[in-house]
Each structure stands twice: as C-alpha cells, then as structure tokens.
C-alpha cells in the first residue's frame, strides 16, 4: 500500500509541477498498465484524466472509472485499489492534492446558501470538459518546462480549478459538497473494522479513516470490542492467516500481505507466538497431516 501523495514524489513516472509539502500538483504518465495498486489518500485530490483510463475500487467495494477528458474529485481518507490503463500507448493525468485550508479559502469568497444533510459522497465526477483539458495541458506546458515553480503559485492554480468546477456544477452543489467535506465525519467503527482489519494500516490510520482523533477512536473501539485496537487487530489478522493456510498453499510473504502485515519478520514473530510454530513450520505440519496414510 502507498500513502498518497507522499509516495508519488519519488516515482519516476510522476513529475512534480508545483509543490508545498503534501499540497501539490503532479503529472503522471506511464506506458504500461498498473494493476491492483493499493493506496490511502491523505489529501483531497482532483484528477484530470488526459489519456487512458483509471479504474478505482473503494474499501466499500464500490467501483467507478474515469476516462480521458473526465474529472474526478476524491475526498481525503479513501482507501482504494486502482488500475491505471493506458490507451493508445499512454496513460496521462494531472493531479491536484490539497487540504481543508484551500477549501476554506475558496468558501470564504463563495456563497453557500443551503447545505445538504445527506452524507458526503465518496467521490464527485464530472464528464468530459474540454475547458478543463485545456487548463491541464496549458498548466503542464507552462510550469513543467520553466523556472516558474514558485509555491505561491500553487494555491492560485488549485483555487482556479475549484472556481472552474464550481461554474460547471448545479447551483450550490459543488460549494455545498466542499463545505461538508470540512465538517467532522464519523464512520461506524464496527462495520469499518470488520471490513478493513486486514489492510496494512496503523491504528492512527483507522482513527483518521473513521473520522476520530486517536484518543476518541481508542475509547469508542474499547466500547465496541472491550479490547485495545492493537490486540484486536493482531487476533483478527492472525486468525485469518491460519484460516488461509487451511484452505490453500501460500508463501509466507504473500500470507503476511494478505492479512495486513508489511513487515514480514514481525509477522513471523507474532504468528509463532500465537500458533507455537513459524508459518513455514505450520505449513509443513499441515502438509504432513494431509498426506494419505
């Protein structure tokens, strides 16, 4: 799993156009498909797809796509799996990552007459908008190849994009959407954890994704499960590991990743503490037990 946009800056297929910390505009271009790439979006992102297609599956198993010319707004906090599919040899997109401070700056000059009481959607999609394609291509052309990468220009270009999108949406719809993004949001801990315990996330990530501070998350979690998050996650992940080995053969590395461990050595240590054997020893024992007499 990668933390986005933090892990993009060292990617050779990504060019940083403008950046100030994790607020940034980056261009992504690739010629080979990228499949089943897991990511956790730590900042709001607007993606303008220029060529190719992107397929996204959320942690709630909702699937949506963005094709060439389309624009997609994804609020921060989404855990997703994505496929990037070149068409005609290339996938190319321009990505704008920003935080609540920029939204607040936009809202300070924008009228929000009425705010919907409905839950904030997990994405907002715009159809093909030639004006935004031109905006993206000109931004890349001007800033990528010149010495104009001053971070003071960054907020200006992101705000410009927000204003452009605001003119395309129905009256008040986009501004209301942005306003609701800045409000505290809580997800049901039990439903979220049962679905996502096997993801390679830390307790701090689960707190953020469920709309809570770390201390509030720990308190609410204890009320549901009467266990600390760390102990519950360990038990759930290791139980799944044992169940997986009972059903099919897997390498230790693959098994660790399947149940949310990125540190293989740590997984082996915890597995042995629970089962009394290392994963390899357990696999051999299972194999011997299944041999015909």
- Do 218 and 120 reside in the same domain of the chain? no
Both tokens of 125, joined, read 């999609």
Averaged in consecutive runs of 10 residues, what is the pLDDT profile of the chain (293 residues)? 80 90 92 83 92 85 88 84 80 93 87 61 84 91 72 90 87 78 77 84 82 90 94 95 87 90 92 91 75 55
Distance, in Å, from the CA atom of 92 to the CA atom of 51, rounded to the nearest integer, reads 5
- Do 50 and 138 reside in the same domain of the chain? yes
Number of structural domains in the chain? 2
- Do 155 and 56 reside in the same domain of the chain? yes
Domain containing 222 — which CATH number? 1.10.10.60
pLDDT for position 288: 66
Give which of 112, 130, 154, 127 is closest to 16, Cα–Cα. 154
Domain containing 103 — which CATH number? 2.60.120.280
- Do 169 and 215 reside in the same domain of the chain? no
- Do 154 and 252 reside in the same domain of the chain? no
8-state DSSP, 118: S
Query: Given 128, 152, 181, which residue is the final one in a domain?
Result: 181
- Do 155 and 205 reside in the same domain of the chain? no
Do the strands 2-4 and 34-41 form a parallel or antiparallel pair, or are they unpaired?
A: parallel
Distance, in Å, from the CA atom of 261 to the CA atom of 199, rounded to the nearest integer, reads 8
- Do 282 and 165 reside in the same domain of the chain? no
- Do 176 and 193 reside in the same domain of the chain? no
Query: Given 181, 212, 238, which residue is the final one in a domain?
Result: 181
- Do 108 and 214 reside in the same domain of the chain? no
Asked, as a colleague might, if the bond just before 5 is cis with ω within 30 of 0, I would say yes
- Do 217 and 116 reside in the same domain of the chain? no
Q: Do 27 and 140 touch, CB atoms closer than 8 A? A: yes
Q: Do 5 and 26 touch, CB atoms closer than 8 A? A: yes
pLDDT for position 70: 93
Q: Has this prediction a pTM greater than 0.85?
A: no
Helix, strand and coil in the chain, % to nearest 5: 45, 25, 35
Q: Which domain holds residue 224?
A: 189-289
- Do 169 and 201 reside in the same domain of the chain? no
pLDDT for position 1: 57
pLDDT for position 284: 82
- Do 15 and 152 reside in the same domain of the chain? yes
């Amino acid at each position: 799993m990668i933390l986005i946009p933090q892990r993009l800056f060292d990617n050779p297929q990504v060019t940083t156009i403008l950046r100030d910390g994790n607020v940034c505009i980056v261009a992504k271009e690739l010629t080979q498909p990228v499949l089943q790439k897991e990511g956790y979006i730590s900042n709001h992102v607007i993606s303008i797809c220029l060529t190719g297609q992107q397929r996204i599956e959320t942690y709630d198993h909702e699937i949506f796509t963005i094709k060439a010319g389309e624009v997609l707004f994804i609020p921060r906090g989404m855990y997703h799996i994505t496929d990037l599919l070149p068409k005609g040899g290339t996938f190319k997109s321009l990505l704008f990552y920003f935080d609540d401070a920029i939204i607040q700056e936009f809202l300070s000059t924008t009228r929000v007459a009425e705010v919907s009481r409905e839950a904030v959607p997990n994405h907002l999609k715009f159809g093909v908008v030639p004006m935004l394609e031109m905006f993206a291509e000109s931004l890349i052309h001007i800033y990528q190849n010149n010495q104009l990468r001053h971070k003071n220009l960054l907020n200006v270009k992101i705000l410009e994009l927000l204003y452009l999108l605001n003119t395309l949406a129905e009256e008040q719809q986009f501004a209301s959407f942005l306003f609701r993004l800045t409000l505290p949001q809580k997800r049901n801990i039990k439903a979220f954890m049962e679905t996502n315990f096997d993801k390679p996330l830390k307790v701090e990530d689960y707190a953020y994704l469920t709309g809570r501070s770390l201390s509030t998350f720990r308190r609410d979690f204890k009320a549901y499960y009467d266990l600390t998050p760390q102990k519950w996650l360990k038990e759930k992940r290791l139980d799944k590991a044992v169940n997986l080995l009972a059903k099919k053969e897997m390498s230790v590395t693959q098994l660790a990743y399947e149940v949310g461990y990125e540190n293989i050595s740590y997984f082996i240590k915890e597995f042995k503490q629970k089962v009394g054997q290392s994963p390899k020893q357990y696999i051999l024992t299972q194999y011997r037990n299944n041999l015909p007499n």
